[in-house]
Chains A and B, each alone.
Chain A
Amino acid sequence: MSDPPAVAGSVALRQDGPVRGFLRAMGAVVWKDLAAELRSRELLSAMLVFALLVILIFNFALELDVRTRETVTAGVLWVTFAFAGTLGLNRSMAVEKDRGCLDGLLLAPVDRSAIYFGKALGNLVFMLIVEAIVLPAYSALYNVNLFKPGLLLVVLLGSVGYAAVGTLLASMAVQARTRDVLLPILLFPVILPVLIAAVKASMGFLQGVELEEIRIWINLLIAYDVIFTAVAFMVFDYVVEE
């Protein structure tokens, strides 16, 4: 496609530098997801209700009394995020697939990794919104203070890794026949390092362990985030290729 006629909207890509064009394309994808969500509120409400239900189930399954809570809070939170996350990922990619949006996106004259980063960022934002509501809710329900800067950092790092790998795998899973059941099966074994490190680090911050002991988990989370964002960036083209 050599120099197609200038169309409003896509014209900006050619006028700006490559980096700005990339960022604009990415921003457009994120904005599209957020605007759609703002109007329908399908995804967030489902994720939130589901997250609260998971916590409720844990409450009875584990008998979350004061003493158990000290040791299992981190685990309960991360299982909740992981489950609610798959729900969101599945939905966010299924919407693209079902209504033919993905084909439209792929036709756009932009770098495909911009689409990947846009979707991943959108999924990350949804996860963070859910977490931003679940954390205070959990704090209030169980009378634990979860608002420690260290814990919030762990939540952010864990969610970044989750969204990076999750977006890649979800875009594969939605193209399969068994898509609804496939995503957790594909995602959970691969995401395990994030969950282990995040649970360990969160537990460390909640129990006031020395920073020196927690740092290794934080490093692991950062390493995972960097490695898998890079891998997803490299292979995403092959996942959406027709």
Chain B
Amino acid sequence: MNPTPKALKALNWLTGALFVVALYLVFFYAPREAVMGDVQRVFYFHVAAGWVGALAFLVTAITGALYLARGDRRWDQVALASVEIGIVFTFINIVSGSIWARPIWNTWWTWDPRLVTATVMELIYLAYLMLRQGIEDPDRRARFGAVYGIVGFISVPITFLSIRLFRTIHPVVVGGGDPTATGAFDMTPRMLRAFMFSMLTFTVLYADLLWHRVRLQRMAEKVEQLKMKILSG
């Protein structure tokens, strides 16, 4: 079995170091938000996790399309790995939002457009995994995965649009928005720095996990091939 590539090892260390710094920035460097208090610190990782979720699903749609166009199995491996990571991060996003919403909105959950689209997105990609599980032929599994990844990804913005037409109480911190939304606040320069750093950290973490997951798939495939060889020989 191939040893871990040097670049991947370096990326592991880089991710770990970035994470330690990010934790420091979030908990000590960023000031305490005046109205909401310490619970506002959820925001930094909450948004970063949401960003990684969306990025991961975008990667799935793109690599799915590439797989359909080129027929190279490696694209499909990336697509599947990305979905799994996206599901985990979207889940982190939803749960951390819930923890924040409990004291701020006084409820764990509300049927707000943002919350609903995040959940629908999560459900689409859970369905994606179930679809793949139900198909044995690897080529067909890859093709169907690609098709569903594309269809699902397109439907998310439309769902977002369709419920955006209602009023939202979810604050839009980045890029202005309605300041009257419950829990909205302006970022100080220190908060902004902690926020940008969290985004960077999570993006690097995504790349690291993706690499590991794709590698794991290759190894699993190789094990499968070896097993077949032994059984037949």
A residues lining the B interface (CB < 8 Å): 165, 168-169, 172-173, 175-179, 182, 185-186, 189-193, 196-197, 216, 220, 223-224, 227-228, 231-232, 235, 238-239, 241
Q: With contacts A176-B134, A190-B124 known, is A220 near B158, CB below 8 A?
A: yes
CB pair A235 B158 closer than 8 Å: no
Report which residue of A172, A175, A177 has the largest number of chain B beta carbons within 10 angstroms of its beta carbon.
Answer: A172
Whether, in the assembled complex, B148 has its beta carbon less than 8 Å from a beta carbon of chain A, the answer is yes
Complex interface residues of chain B between 117 and 173 (CB less than 8 A to chain A): 120, 123-124, 127, 130-131, 133-136, 140, 143-144, 146-148, 150-152, 154-155, 158-159, 161-163, 165
In the docked arrangement, what's the CA distance between A173 and B150, Å? Answer: 16
List residues of chain B with CB within 8 A of the CB of A182: 130-131, 134
Is the Cβ of B158 less than 8 Å from the Cβ of A172?
Answer: no
The residue from B127, B143, B155, B158 contacting A185, defined by CB atoms under 8 A apart: B127
Within the complex, the shortest CB–CB distance from A172 to chain B, in Å, comes to 5
A-B contact pairs, 22 of them (CB 8 A): A169-B148, A169-B151, A175-B144, A176-B134, A176-B144, A178-B133, A179-B134, A182-B131, A185-B127, A185-B130, A189-B120, A189-B123, A192-B155, A196-B162, A197-B162, A227-B154, A228-B151, A228-B155, A235-B147, A235-B151, A238-B68, A241-B143
Q: Select one of A175, A177, A216 contacting B165, CB under 8 A.
A: A216
B-side contacts of A172, CB under 8 Å: 131, 144, 147-148
Residue-wise interface mask of B (161-197) relative to A, using a CB-CB cutoff of 8 A (1 in contact, 0 not): 1110100000000000000000000000000000000
B162 and A220 contacting across the interface, CB-CB below 8 Å: yes
Nearest-neighbor residue (CB-CB) of A232 within chain B = B151
Q: How far is the CA of A227 from the CA of B140 in the complex (A)?
A: 24
| Inter-chain CB contacts under 8 Å: number | 84
Interchain CA distance A172-B124 in the complex, whole Å? 15
CB-defined contacts of B136 to chain A, threshold 8 Å: 177
Residues of chain A contacted by B68 (CB below 8 angstroms): 235, 238
B135 touches A175 (CB 8 A): yes
Interface residues on B, range: 20 to 34
Question: Which residues from chain B contact A223 at a C-beta distance below 8 Å?
Answer: 158
Residues of A contacting B154 in the complex (Cβ-Cβ under 8 angstroms): 227-228, 231
Which residue of B127, B143, B146 is within 8 Å of A189 (Cβ)?
Answer: B127
Q: Chain B residues with Cβ under 8 A from A165's Cβ?
A: 151
**Which residues on B sit within 8 Å (CB–CB) of A241?**
143
Nearest B-chain residue to A230, judged by Cβ: B154
- Knowing A189-B120, A227-B154 touch, does A176 contact B162 (C-beta < 8 A)? no
Name the A residues within 8 Å of B124 (CB-CB): 189-190
> What is the interface of chain B, defined by CB distance below 8 A to chain A?
68, 120, 123-124, 127, 130-131, 133-136, 140, 143-144, 146-148, 150-152, 154-155, 158-159, 161-163, 165
CB closest chain-B residue, reference A191: B155
Which chain B positions have C-beta within 8 A of A186?
127, 130-131, 148
Contact B151 A238 (CB under 8 A): no
Query: Are A178 and B134 interface neighbours, CB within 8 A?
Result: yes
One of A176, A177, A227, A238 near B158 (C-beta < 8 A): A227
Q: Within 8 Å CB of A176, what residues of B?
A: 131, 134-135, 144
Neighbour of B159 across the interface among A168, A175, A196, CB < 8 A: A196
Contacts of A192 in B (CB 8 A): 120, 155, 159, 162
Distance (whole angstroms) from the CB of A192 to the closest CB of chain B: 5
Measured CB to CB, the closest approach of chain B to A86, in angstroms, equals: 13
Residue from B150, B159, B161, B165 in contact with A231 in the complex, judged by beta carbons closer than 8 Å: B150
Of the candidates A169, A175, A178, A197, which one forms a contact with B130 in the assembled complex, judged by CB atoms under 8 Å apart? A178
Is the beta-carbon distance between A239 and B163 smaller than 8 angstroms? no
CA distance A185 to B130 in the complex (A): 9
Report how far A182 CA is from B127 CA in the complex, Å: 8
**Those 7 A-B pairs whose CB atoms lie nearest each other, nearest first:** A176-B134, A178-B134, A193-B158, A193-B162, A189-B123, A189-B124, A177-B134
Neighbouring A residues of B143 by C-beta, 8 Å: 238-239, 241
Chain B nearest Cβ from A111, distance in angstroms: 18
The reply to whether B147 and A239 contact each other, CB–CB distance below 8 Å, is yes
Contacts of B127 in A (CB 8 A): 185-186, 189
Most buried by A among B130, B134, B161: B134
**Which listed residue, A178, A196, A197, A238, touches B146 by the CB 8 Å rule?**
A238
Q: Is the CB of B163 within 8 A of A196?
A: yes
Across the two chains, which residue of chain A brings its CB closest to B117?
A192
Nearest CB of chain B from residue A191's CB, rounded to whole Å? 8
